[in-house]
Structure formats: C-alpha cells, structure tokens
C-alpha cells in the first residue's frame, strides 16, 4: 500500500497544514526581504519555499506540472504542440494536468517514468540529455527541478486524485476538491522605476492557492519583457534596466500571466517640465505620465494644421476652401471648440463613423451569395447602422440591439450581425464567438479554443461557455427567395470542452456561473455587453475611438487586449473608459472632449525629449490617410468626382462597401485604388485589415496612375481658376489652401511665381504644381 503524498510515513498524522505553514513562513520571510530592498537595490536571494522532502512527497499538480512548465517541456515548439513532439504530448502550458499525468506516467508503462529504478526514467534521462533528446539539455542532475522530479518518482509518481480518498484530509484542507488550485499570481512589485540604466532589481513571483496559501514560485516561473531595449528580465526574475523608456515585464506560472511596469528614466539633468496648460481630464492624465517619464510634450499645433487634422478625423476628407476661410476668419479664442462642434453636427460625421463600423462588421453584398450576404441585406444593415449614428444612439445600446436581434435579414437590419460578421453558408458559432469578442471586447478569446490562453486569463471553459451564446443561432429561408430568417433554436445544445467532454452552457466572460435564464442566452449577453459596469466593453470602445483620433490606441493593437499587452498609460485608459460610461456612451460628447484636449491638438513636431516616444502621446502621430479618406480628399481638392463600381455617381469613398453583381466570392477591396492603398477587404474582423504602410506601388500610382493624372485638369477647379484670369500669386495661394489647407510660405510662393513667369504654357506649370502637392507627404499624411 502506498501512502498518499501528503501523509507522513514517519508519523501518521495530517501534515498538510504544517506543509502550507512552511510555505507561508517562507513567504513572509520573502516579504520582509522584499520590503528592505530599495528600488536602486541589489538583487535579493531567498530560497524558494519548498516542502520538506520527508513530510511531503511532491504533488503532480503542485510541484511536477510547474517543472514541466519551467523547463519548457510543455511549450508550443516542444511537447506542448498540438500533436506533441516525437510521440510524447503534453498540454500546452499545462491546461490538462490529468491528461499530462496519463501521458507521462501511464501511456507507456515504465518507460517515461520508471518507479522501480527512478533514475532510469526516460523523463529524467531526456531532460538531462543523458540520452539523445531533440530538445537538448534542460537541467542537470544537481538542479532543484531534477530533484523534485526524482523525489516524485521515488515516491511512486503518485497522481493527486488519491487525496480525495481520505475525508479527514479534505476537511483539514478546507477544500472539498482536494488539491489546491492556483487562483492567481502576483509580482512582489507592480511598478519599478529605475533612475538610470544598468540598475537591477529582483522580482518575486507569488502564487495564491485556493486554500488561501501563498507560495513563492519565482524559481518555477517563466519571464519575458515586452521591450528588451528598455528592460530585460532573466530566469530568476531579476529585472535589468537597459535604456530610457517604459515597458512591462511579465511572469507566467500555471495558467496565469502577470505584468510589472518598468520605467527607466532618462537623466534628470537638462530636463525641465514645461508645465503646459491643461484643457480637460485627458491632458492631466497624459501629462502626469509624461512628467513622470521626463518627456516634454510638443507645442500646440497651428490653426491650419488643426483644421485639416480634425476635419480628416471627423468627416473623413480634407477641408474645402470655404471651410478654410470660415475657420481662418474666426478670430475668437474658442474657434477650435466651435469648429469641433460644427463638424460633430454634420451628417458626414455620423456617416463616417457608421461606415467605420460597417467595415468592422464586415458588411458586404452580393446578388448570388451562398451565405446570407445579399445586397439588400447589406444595404439594410448599413442604413440601420447609419441611422443609429445620425441619431447619436448610445454605443452600448447600438451593440446590444444587434446582439439580441432575430428575424428576417432583409427586413431587419441589425440581425445581419449574424450574417455579416462571419461570411459563411452556415452559422459558425466558434467563429461568431471569436469575432464578437474581438470586435466588441477587443479580446481574442479564440486562443482558448485548443488550450488555455497562454498570455491572458481566459481558459477553455471561458471560451466554450462563450461559444454557447451562439450555438443556438440558426438560419431558415425567409419570405423573399434570398432572405434568411435568423432565430435561436431552443433545442440546441451548448458547446463541449474537448478536454473532459463536458458541455459548457452559455457563460459570460469573467463571470463565474453560467446564464440561468432559460431560452435565448443572447438576451443575457446583450444586457451584459451594454451594462455600464462592463469594463471590457467600455475600455474596448474607448480605446478604439481614441485610436481612431490619435493614430494609436492606449492598447495597441486595439483588438488584442490581454494581460501581456497592457495599456501604455493605464490611468488614461481607465479615465477614458470611465468618462465614456459617465457620458452614457454618447459618441459625440466623448469625441468632443478628446478633440478639445491639448493632447489631441499637439504639434507633430517633436521636442528633444519626446523624439523617440511612440507610446505616450507626447506629440501628434503622422498618419498616412486611409485609402478611402485619401480618395475622397483627392476628389475634394481637385473637384473631379471618382465613380465607384456598383454605386451611384458621387458616392463618397468612405461610404463604399463592396456590392457585387455576381457571387460574393470572398473578400475583396472592390476598387483597385483601395487595394493599392490598403483599404480593408473585410476578409476578417481584424483591425489590421486596414493597412497604413506606404508601399512603392502607392507612390507609382500617385506619380503616374490615373487617379491624379485624370484630375489635374479635366473641368476641375484648376480650370475654373484659370478661367477667372486671376493673378498667378492668387492662383498659387488658392492651390495651397485647397490641397494643403494652408497658405504658401514666401519661399514657396516666390519659387513658383518664377516658374510661371519662365513658362510659355502656364496651365502646364499649374498642373505640375498641383501634381507635386498631391504627391507630397504633406498631403498624403494627417499631421
């Protein structure tokens, strides 16, 4: 008879409490040492807490799984791969301890684990590279990892289930389940501020268990830094300052990831905080952060730049000549506020926002679509979205209505969330769950389909519980031939977690119990998503709006929010999110405050201290115009329209979505110009579908392509100017105002006047000037 691991073979009494007592004691020792360590301090070395070998043979879940994790055995490229490696499979980062026990101990009797001759266990021989091992040597026989494994094998390689057998122990353990589980992990410090590079400090990684105990797992964690150029972290949790900046280092243990912020300050000498004026809460949050980092924000941008920036951002095109003059002629101090108000009241603002959402929701229409993405449905959906924004519907209600929608998709716009979000002939609950979560929560929960999310808190139960919100969605033919009726099938069964084969009823993310109400669980989902307390939703929406206006999210990429991708300024994101809730998800009010902040209005011209900053909004980010905004701007400044396939003449490019007369054969940009300039093909919900990178083909297209060539002088503005027989300096000035929303400098004007004077064909010169302006980065970028 083998004794369970927690029973002392020497004295037959319950020693579990003693064991945890030992761990707790070690933890308090660590805490004392950490408390005495200063930020500039040396690393502190304490022995990690471990159980007395006589008292407690190692437990598979508590002690052995962490070894497999720490040594990297269960990582993705090794045995954690979906099909294992060289015949031996472990669950990725240990999401399935029971399966790992079976595969390690029982699958091939006596091979990987040899309890009769423990040191001959293949697990040990491989890990120490005593026999050929593809993964090489992971530790040596002197290491603690080896000793723990050996002790466990010497104890008979027991599984933890044996614990349930003895009720006496379960009672003492305060847990009916038996083995305590890790419930969370924490670093000994959340924030580290280094005064200069080449300093270092030791972090301790602490795990909280379900029985209330805390264990120092520093020697069992895995660590990484988001930016090794700023700070590195080694295998022992020692954080090293490398260069000025801010980043996060992470520790991982069990299924958890935890981060600590690391700030490496530039030298204080020569830095003077300029103390810029503060317009609203946003400025305070951003400037507090900048002051802490010893980074000075840039100056306010000039009026011309502001006009162009805010017009492009809010209504998706360059300002017109009239808009320029209206703004330039306003001499009041509140002229910028008034401009923002004016733009927000335009239908163009609502339509542009609606179009951005339609793009995100993958609206696309075809005549003969195999799915349900017919043109009529696409139009109905796009019009419904536009109406919501025109009447400034609160964003949470907008999403909630779509979430709970049922009915025929040509008659009922919002139900097309379930036809457009995932283009497929059949409803795909897994993809719906993944895309819904990515768009509305910014969370890529699909990582947890096959294993617990390696870098976030979501596990497979969370994923399959979330999928169950969509497993009942069905389509049946509607009234019209191509219409589909979307309904919830109450006879549907929930998604099944493949690890244990048990169904997981619909469960909201971050909520411990499943939805209780019978019937369509999407009602609960709609209530939850629109609830002001739903931090995930509010943060995601606030971050998306911020990213649109600033060119970068506080979390970037905007649709990959996870523990290991934290906000660059957590207080700012919290502040924005809280404000959005306070404003009851009123888009216009929220945008108005951002645009009125000094931060939004900063110049793109960097200061000495903020030149290298790309994360803290210390200066305006240069952004190449979106493909559709660029096309609309070219049309606006040249006055020559550009028709789009399958749309009425004069339709704005930002409002365009692909409408195909034939079958909707997969994602496509719809127009060659869009393809060249990276407009989203609506192939996926990923925000990365919209590309902003410059390419050579873009340059070539603008230099010699038909978009600009055909608009230089085909009955456009230029011809009109010529017809009015204005003096050359006026024509040049007007061209500057039209294209670049500013007046020319004296140098520019004089140089160009010289060309005009020297030329026999003045129209050619003006065309060249216009052509040059349209090809300039000043025009192509929002600055």
Partner 1 sequence: MPISMPRLTYPHTYWVAWAIAWLGLFLWSQETFAAQSDEPKESLHYEDSIAGILKSKCGVCHGDGKQEAGLSLTSYAGVIQGSGGGKIVVAGQSQQSKLMEVITTEDDSLRMPPDGDPLTKEQVKEIQQWIDQGLRENAGSSAAQMRTLGFVPNAKLSSGSEDSIPAEQLLPKNYPTIEAIKTSRPFPILGLAASPKAPVVAASQYGSIALFDPKNLQSIGIVPFAEGEPLVLSFSRSGRLLLAAGGKPVRQGSAALYDVVTGKRLASVGDEPDTLQSADLSPDERFIAVGCTSRLVKIFSTETGGVTTTIDKHTDWVTALAYSPDGKMLATADRIGNIYLWDGESGGALLSLSAHKKSVRSLHWRSDSRVVVSCGEDGMIVWWDAKDGWPTIQKTDAHGHGVLDAKFGTQGELATCGRDRLIKLWSAEGTELKRFSIDSSLPLRVSLTADGEWIVAGDSSGRLHHWPLK
Among 117, 479, 649, 704, binds partner 1 (CB under 8 A): 117
In terms of CB distance, is 110 or 750 closer to partner 1? 110
Q: How near is the Cβ of 57 to partner 1 at its closest, in Å?
A: 13
Cβ burial, residue 746 (10 Å; 0-12/13-18/19+): exposed
Q: How near is the Cβ of 137 to partner 1 at its closest, in Å?
A: 14
Nearest to 336, CA basis, from 317, 310, 316, 318: 310
- Confirm or reject binding of residue 136 to partner 1 (CB under 8 A): no
∠ CA 638-743-760, nearest 5°, is 65
Q: How near is the Cβ of 158 to partner 1 at its closest, in Å?
A: 11
In terms of CB distance, is 125 or 578 closer to partner 1? 125
Please list every residue from 554 through 593 that binds partner 1, using CB under 8 A.
none
Among 18, 43, 120, 337, binds partner 1 (CB under 8 A): 120
Helix crossing, 375-390 with 347-360: angle to 10°?
Answer: 130
Q: How near is the Cβ of 94 to partner 1 at its closest, in Å?
A: 22
The DSSP call for residue 427 is -
**Residues contacting 464, CB < 8 A, separation 6+:** 494, 495, 496, 497, 504
Please list every residue from 84 through 113 that binds partner 1, using CB under 8 A.
87, 106, 109-111
How far is C-alpha 659 from the geometric centre of its chain's CA atoms?
Answer: 30
Task: Please report, for residues 582, 589, 681, 746, the alpha-carbon distance to residue 586 in angstroms, rounded to integers and kept in the order given.
Answer: 9, 6, 29, 45
Cβ burial, residue 274 (10 Å; 0-12/13-18/19+): middle
In terms of CB distance, is 86 or 611 closer to partner 1? 86
Q: How near is the Cβ of 90 to partner 1 at its closest, in Å?
A: 17
Distance (Å, rounded) from C-alpha 504 to C-alpha 138?
Answer: 38
In terms of CB distance, is 77 or 132 closer to partner 1? 132
In terms of CB distance, is 68 or 122 closer to partner 1? 122
Q: Please provide the size of the chain in residues.
A: 783
DSSP SS3 for 259: strand
Among 126, 252, 552, 592, binds partner 1 (CB under 8 A): 126
Distance (Å, rounded) from C-alpha 20 to C-alpha 59?
Answer: 13
Among 116, 322, 649, 696, binds partner 1 (CB under 8 A): 116
- Confirm or reject binding of residue 154 to partner 1 (CB under 8 A): yes
Task: Please report, for residues 38, 583, 589, the alpha-carbon distance to residue 540 in angstroms, rounded to integers and kept in the order given.
Answer: 36, 16, 17
Nearest to 308, CA basis, from 339, 264, 346: 339
Q: How near is the Cβ of 611 to partner 1 at its closest, in Å?
A: 57
Buried b (16+ CB within 10 A) or exposed e, 383-414: ebbbebbeebbbbbebbbbbbbbeebbbebbb
Phi, psi of 104 (to 5 degrees): -80, -45
Number of amino acids touching partner 1 (CB under 8 A): 17
In terms of CB distance, is 131 or 272 closer to partner 1? 131
Q: How near is the Cβ of 91 to partner 1 at its closest, in Å?
A: 18
In terms of CB distance, is 112 or 504 closer to partner 1? 112
Looking at the DSSP bridge assignments, the partners of residue 365 are 659
In terms of CB distance, is 35 or 131 closer to partner 1? 131
- Confirm or reject binding of residue 328 to partner 1 (CB under 8 A): no
Q: Tell me the Ramachandran region of residue 38: left when phi exceeds 0, alpha when psi lies from -120 to 50, beta otherwise.
A: beta
Binding mask 660-689 for partner 1 (x = CB under 8 A): ------------------------------
Q: How near is the Cβ of 87 to partner 1 at its closest, in Å?
A: 7
Q: How near is the Cβ of 3 to partner 1 at its closest, in Å?
A: 12
Distance (Å, rounded) from C-alpha 595 to C-alpha 641?
Answer: 30
**Residues contacting 449, CB < 8 A, separation 6+:** 430, 434, 460, 463
- Confirm or reject binding of residue 649 to partner 1 (CB under 8 A): no
Binding mask 36-75 for partner 1 (x = CB under 8 A): ----------------------------------------
Among 30, 49, 67, 122, binds partner 1 (CB under 8 A): 122
In terms of CB distance, is 107 or 397 closer to partner 1? 107
Distance (Å, rounded) from C-alpha 321 to C-alpha 261?
Answer: 47
Q: How near is the Cβ of 83 to partner 1 at its closest, in Å?
A: 12
In terms of CB distance, is 134 or 331 closer to partner 1? 134
In terms of CB distance, is 87 or 425 closer to partner 1? 87
DSSP SS3 for 680: coil
Q: Which stretch binds partner 1 (CB under 8 A): 126-134, 203-211, 273-281, 329-337?
A: 126-134
- Confirm or reject binding of residue 118 to partner 1 (CB under 8 A): yes
- Confirm or reject binding of residue 79 to partner 1 (CB under 8 A): no
Among 38, 77, 83, 132, binds partner 1 (CB under 8 A): 132
In terms of CB distance, is 118 or 678 closer to partner 1? 118
Residue whose entry in the numeric block shows the structure tokens 């807490």: 49
Task: Please report, for residues 88, 220, 272, the alpha-carbon distance to residue 80 in angstroms, rounded to integers and kept in the order given.
Answer: 9, 17, 51
In terms of CB distance, is 110 or 383 closer to partner 1? 110
Among 24, 29, 98, 125, binds partner 1 (CB under 8 A): 125
Distance (Å, rounded) from C-alpha 260 to C-alpha 272?
Answer: 28
Q: Which helix (H) or strand (E) holds 756?
A: helix 746-758
Residue whose entry in the numeric block shows the structure tokens 């330039």: 328
Residue whose entry in the numeric block shows the structure tokens 């497979």: 460
- Confirm or reject binding of residue 131 to partner 1 (CB under 8 A): yes
In terms of CB distance, is 105 or 434 closer to partner 1? 105
Q: How near is the Cβ of 668 to partner 1 at its closest, in Å?
A: 42
In terms of CB distance, is 131 or 649 closer to partner 1? 131
Q: Which residues bind partner 1 (CB under 8 A)?
A: 87, 106, 109-111, 115-118, 120, 122, 125-126, 131-132, 154, 156
């Amino acid at each position: 008879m083998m004794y369970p691991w927690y029973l002392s073979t020497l004295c037959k009494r319950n020693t579990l409490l003693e064991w945890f007592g030992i761990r707790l004691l070690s933890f308090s020792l660590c805490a004392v040492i950490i408390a005495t360590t200063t930020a500039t301090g040396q690393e502190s070395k304490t022995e990690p807490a471990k159980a007395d070998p006589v008292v407690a043979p190692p437990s598979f879940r508590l002690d052995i799984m962490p070894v497999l994790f720490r040594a990297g055995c269960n990582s993705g490229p090794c045995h954690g791969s979906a099909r294992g490696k060289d015949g031996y499979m472990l669950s990725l980062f240990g999401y399935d301890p029971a399966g790992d026990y079976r595969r390690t101990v029982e699958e091939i009797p006596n091979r990987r684990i040899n309890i009769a001759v423990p040191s001959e266990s293949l697990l040990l021989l491989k890990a120490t590279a005593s026999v050929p091992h593809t993964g090489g040597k992971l530790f040596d026989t002197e290491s603690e990892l080896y000793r723990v494994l050996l002790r466990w094998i010497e104890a008979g390689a027991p599984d933890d289930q044996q614990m349930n057998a003895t009720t006496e122990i379960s009672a003492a353990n305060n847990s009916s389940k038996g083995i305590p589980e890790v419930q969370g992990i924490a670093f000994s410090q959340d924030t580290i501020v280094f005064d200069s590079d080449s300093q270092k400090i030791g972090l301790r990684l602490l795990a909280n268990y379900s029985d209330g105990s805390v264990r120092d797992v520093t020697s069992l964690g895995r660590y990484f830094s988001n930016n090794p150029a700023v700070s590195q972290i080694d295998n022992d949790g020692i954080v090293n300052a490398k260069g000025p900046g801010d980043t996060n280092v992470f520790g991982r243990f069990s299924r958890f990831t935890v981060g600590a912020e690391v700030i490496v300050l530039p030298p204080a000498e020569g830095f003077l905080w300029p103390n810029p004026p503060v317009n609203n809460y946003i400025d305070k949050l951003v400037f507090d952060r900048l002051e802490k980092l010893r980074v000075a924000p840039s100056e306010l941008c000039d009026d011309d730049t502001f006009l162009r920036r805010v017009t492009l951002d809010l209504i998706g095109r360059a300002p017109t000549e009239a808009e320029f003059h209206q703004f330039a002629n306003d001499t009041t101090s509140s002229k910028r506020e008034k401009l923002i108000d004016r733009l927000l009241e335009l239908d163009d603002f609502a339509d542009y926002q609606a179009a951005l959402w339609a793009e995100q929701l993958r609206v696309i229409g075809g005549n003969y679509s195999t799915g349900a993405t017919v043109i009529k449905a696409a139009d109905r959906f796009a019009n419904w979205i536009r109406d919501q924004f025109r009447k400034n519907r609160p964003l949470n209600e907008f999403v909630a209505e779509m979430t709970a929608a049922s009915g025929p998709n040509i008659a009922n716009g919002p139900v097309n969330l379930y036809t457009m979000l995932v283009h497929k002939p059949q409803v795909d609950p897994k993809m719906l769950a993944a895309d819904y979560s990515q768009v509305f929560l910014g969370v890529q929960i699909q990582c947890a389909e096959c294993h617990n999310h390696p870098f976030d808190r979501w596990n497979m139960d969370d994923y399959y519980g979330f999928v169950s919100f969509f497993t009942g969605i069905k389509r049946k033919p509607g009234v019209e031939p191509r219409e589909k009726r979307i309904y919830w099938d109450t006879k549907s069964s929930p998604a099944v977690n493949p690890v244990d084969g048990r169904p997981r009823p619909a469960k909201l993310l971050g909520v411990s119990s499943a939805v209780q109400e019978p019937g369509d669980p999407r009602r609960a989902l709609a209530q939850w998503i629109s609830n002001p307390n739903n931090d995930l939703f509010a943060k995601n929406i606030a971050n998306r709006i911020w990213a649109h206006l600033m060119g970068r999210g506080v979390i970037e990429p905007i649709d990959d929010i996870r523990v290991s991708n934290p906000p660059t300024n957590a207080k700012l994101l919290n502040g924005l999110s809280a404000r959005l809730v306070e404003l009851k998800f009123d888009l216009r009010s929220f945008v108005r405050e951002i645009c009125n902040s000094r931060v939004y209005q900063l110049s793109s011209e960097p200061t000495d201290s903020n030149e290298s900053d790309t994360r803290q909004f210390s200066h305006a980010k240069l952004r190449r115009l979106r493909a559709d905004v660029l096309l609309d701007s070219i049309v606006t400044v040249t006055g020559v329209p550009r028709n789009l396939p399958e749309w009425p003449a004069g339709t704005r490019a930002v409002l365009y979505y692909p409408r195909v007369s034939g079958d909707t054969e997969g994602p496509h940009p719809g127009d060659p110009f869009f393809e060249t300039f990276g407009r989203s093909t609506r192939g996926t919900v990923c925000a990365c579908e919209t590309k902003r990178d410059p390419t050579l083909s873009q340059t070539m297209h603008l230099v010699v392509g038909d978009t600009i060539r055909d608009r230089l002088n085909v009955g456009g503005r230029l011809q009109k100017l010529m017809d009015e027989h204005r003096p050359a300096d006026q024509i040049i000035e007007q061209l500057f105002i039209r294209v670049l929303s500013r007046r020319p400098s004296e140098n520019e004007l004089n140089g160009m006047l010289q060309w005009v004077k020297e030329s026999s064909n003045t129209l050619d010169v003006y065309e060249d000037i216009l052509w040059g302006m349209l090809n300039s980065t000043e025009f192509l970028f929002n600055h």
